[in-house]
Amino acid sequence: MIYQKIQEAAFNDRRLLSVLIDPDKSGEKHLDKICAYSNEANIDYFFVGGSLITSGDLQRTVLGIKKRSSIPVVLFPGNHQQISEHADAILLLSLISGRNPDLLIGQHVTAAQRLKTSELEIIPTGYLLIDGGTMTTVQYVSGTAPIPTDKVEIAAYTALAGEQLGMKLIFAEAGSGAKHHVPVDVIKAIKKEVNIPLIVGGGIRTPESAAAVFRAGANMVVVGNSFEKDPELIQDIAAARFNFKDAV
């Protein structure tokens, strides 16, 4: 069970790295490269999904990863259509920082029956959008305002409410391609309030920033954009899981 593994890692103070693959940017050659580097760096999970998939094919992407790697694939869906029975698990995201009912419950109702008949492990996840210094696709497409970075308590209490609602993970998201990742004081404040594992993603581009995010308490880091541009970076950011305490 994937959730159990994430919980065990959190319990044992072991940090995790997920490589996000956008089905719009997953040609065969790209998958060859990104999977080879991910296998070599022994990353923990592949996440697949996006707020907006245009030309990409989710099923083909998941199968393409499965053909190249035995690392588990977790769906990170932007909407109810982004379901593939070939994946191992799905983050059932509720955008709890927003007030868009469709992303709090609407998409979930549409997906419910299909998820029930699938063998996917369902992991209810409280998804918080935090301001990343620029208008990101997720912000625009979701039609929700991100939590301002100086409203640290709002972020912390939103995460706490998610935990109290029964969510199993909190995902603090600055948005793909964000200028700044989620600030360390926001991460620390969330960690202080919740006991469930915390995922942090958006705008993480260097091993140093991954280390800072891990040091602040993130249990898992998700990186997409930077690995698309430079798959060799996977190795260095993967190493931050182990040496984040030494980094300055």
Helical pair 184-193 and 152-164, crossing angle rounded to 10 deg? 30
Determine if 133 is a binding residue for ligand 1GP (CB under 6 A). Answer: no
Determine if 131 is a binding residue for ligand 1GP (CB under 6 A). Answer: no
- 107 vs 81: CA distance, rounded Å: 9
Helical pair 28-41 and 58-68, crossing angle rounded to 10 deg? 50
Residue 118 backbone zone (phi > 0: left; psi -120 to 50: alpha; other: beta):
beta
Exactly one of 124, 162, 202, 231 binds ligand 1GP (CB under 6 A); that residue is 202
Q: How far is the CB of 218 from ligand 1GP (least distance, A)?
A: 11
Residue 102: Cβ within 10 Å count: 16
Q: Indicate the DSSP class of residue 133.
A: S
Q: Which is nearer to ligand 1GP, 10 or 17 (CB)?
A: 17
Exactly one of 124, 146, 201, 207 binds ligand 1GP (CB under 6 A); that residue is 201
Q: Which residues are bridge partners to 226 per DSSP?
A: none
Q: Which is nearer to ligand 1GP, 77 or 124 (CB)?
A: 77
- 217 vs 13: CA distance, rounded Å: 9
Exactly one of 94, 139, 176, 219 binds ligand 1GP (CB under 6 A); that residue is 176
Type of residue numbered 115: L
Q: Which is nearer to ligand 1GP, 67 or 100 (CB)?
A: 100
Q: How far is the CB of 174 from ligand 1GP (least distance, A)?
A: 7
Q: Which is nearer to ligand 1GP, 48 or 156 (CB)?
A: 48
- 209 vs 204: CA distance, rounded Å: 6
Residue 166 backbone zone (phi > 0: left; psi -120 to 50: alpha; other: beta):
left
Q: Which of residues 13-72 bind ligand 1GP (CB under 6 A)?
A: 20
Determine if 223 is a binding residue for ligand 1GP (CB under 6 A). Answer: yes
What is the number of the residue whose Cβ is closest to ligand 1GP?
A: 201
Determine if 204 is a binding residue for ligand 1GP (CB under 6 A). Answer: yes
Q: Which is nearer to ligand 1GP, 3 or 227 (CB)?
A: 227
Exactly one of 163, 177, 184, 236 binds ligand 1GP (CB under 6 A); that residue is 177
Exactly one of 39, 144, 225, 235 binds ligand 1GP (CB under 6 A); that residue is 225
Structure tokens at 30: 């790209």
- 67 vs 74: CA distance, rounded Å: 15
Type of residue numbered 143: G
Q: Which is nearer to ligand 1GP, 98 or 202 (CB)?
A: 202
Residues that bind ligand 1GP (CB under 6 A): 20, 173, 176-178, 201-204, 222-226
